[in-house]
Amino acid sequence: MRVAVVGTDHGHIIEITRTLAKAGAEIAVIVPTEDAIGPWLASKNPDAKVASSLDEALDLGVDLVATAAIPGDRAEIGLTAMRAGVDVVTDKPGATSLEQLDALRAAHAETGRNYTVVFSERLGNPAMVTAQRLVDEGRIGTVVHAVGLGPHTLNLANRPQWFFDPSRYGGILVDIGSHQVDQFLAFTGSTDGEVVSSAIRPHAEHAGVEVLGEMLLGSDRATGYARVDYLTPAGLGAWGDVRFTAVGTAGYVEARYVDQTVFVVDGDRKETIECQDHAVTWAADLLVGRPLDQEHVFTVTRICLEAQAGARRRDPIPLSV
């Protein structure tokens, strides 16, 4: 499978590219869309051609376009790729408006191409992969609740312009909250969900930077809560102490990102599982024809967009940086 990497604005493209290559894909083309990540990625993939546009990349003959362009630009890349008969792998979020989502849905339906959004906090996180396996095996019974906490480092000095403009990144509940919506649906086995309540708090000195977002979610079988923020302090030594907890009728499971552990408790015992060496399989699954459930991808996207659009805008958070 020949892959064109088109859009390198978010560092997630490094992990996406690496994971695809490790699964056996050929990184055939790279289209850098900024000055740092793209050129570096090209230097690490010397066999890949460097191209200057999506069209040029498609002309070189590829099977899949992978993108971590500016979030607002990803849908157009995905649409063009699918219409050219090519599968798509995009960093989350894949869309920043309902119009983009509708167009992506339509293009997927028309072309039959795979459209994958890499919800990396679940799909690329060995602790979460392990936690989900335990849940799928029935270890904690029927899941009735989920809490996802997604703190991130603010790091304003190194953020690109688009980080300051919600019209380009989609708002915090779309940009990073999409992870938690994905987790809620996946762990509760819900095929649909609703936003019960949502809110955001912007940065006091940068109105376009949303520092905290939260949402209460519901489905026909479970409820869930998610908070995302840019309040990770430097002392953590990691970008975010991401936690996910699923509570079931027969136990619960907690996945921790920072130390890659899963803590699971059932009717008989409690157990801490070290997951550092556990496999991440989304790319390998994709390459053998088991893509992420397509309806799930679109449903997650819709819920995030609804959460963001309906969010109560609360007082700015006073931050000195």
Burial label for 43, CB within 10 Å (0-12, 13-18, 19+), is: exposed
What single DSSP character describes residue 161? G
Distance CA 129, CA 123 (A): 6
Paired residues of 270 in beta bridges: 265
According to CB under 8 A, which residues from 91 to 150 bind its own copies?
A: 140, 142, 144-145, 147, 149
Q: Give me the least distance between CB of 276 and its own copies, in Å please.
A: 19
Q: Which of 41, 60, 74 is nearest to 2 (CA)?
A: 60
For the four alpha carbons of 236, 320, 120 and 52, in that order, the dihedral sign comes to negative
Out of 21, 84, 265, 309, the only residue in the binding site for its own copies (CB under 8 A) is 265
Instruction: State in Å, rounded, how far the first CA of the chain is from the last one.
Output: 44
Q: Name which of 158 and 161 has its Cβ closer to its own copies.
A: 158
Lookup: tokens for 316: 């700015």
Minimum CB distance to its own copies, residue 16 (Å): 29
Helix 98-111 vs helix 71-83: crossing angle, to nearest 10:
20
Provide the pairing of β-strand 2-6 with 26-31.
Answer: parallel
**What's the rounded Cα separation, in Å, for the pair 174 and 311?**
11
* Cβ closest to its own copies, residue 1 vs residue 265: 265
Which one of the spans 5-13, 108-116, 209-217, 277-285 is the region binding its own copies (CB under 8 A)?
Answer: 209-217
Determine, following the binding rule CB under 8 A, whether residue 183 of this chain makes contact with its own copies.
Answer: no
Q: Tell me which of 80, 266, 273, 296 binds its own copies, using CB under 8 A.
A: 266
Q: Tell me whether residue 104 or residue 147 sits nearer to its own copies (CB atom).
A: 147
DSSP H or E segment with residue 49? strand 49-50
Among 56, 63, 241, 285, binds its own copies (CB under 8 A): 241
Residue 9 tokens read as 């604005």
Residues 144 to 163 in contact with its own copies, rule: CB under 8 A = 144-145, 147, 149, 151
252 belongs to the binding site for its own copies (CB under 8 A) = yes
For residue 9, state whether it binds its own copies (rule: CB under 8 A). Answer: no
In this chain, which stretch among 9-17, 41-49, 129-137, 309-317 interacts with its own copies, using CB under 8 A?
A: 309-317
Binding site for its own copies (CB under 8 A): 140, 142, 144-145, 147, 149, 151, 196-197, 199, 201, 212, 214, 216, 218, 220-221, 223, 225, 227, 229, 231, 233-237, 241, 245, 247-252, 265-270, 312, 314-315, 317-319
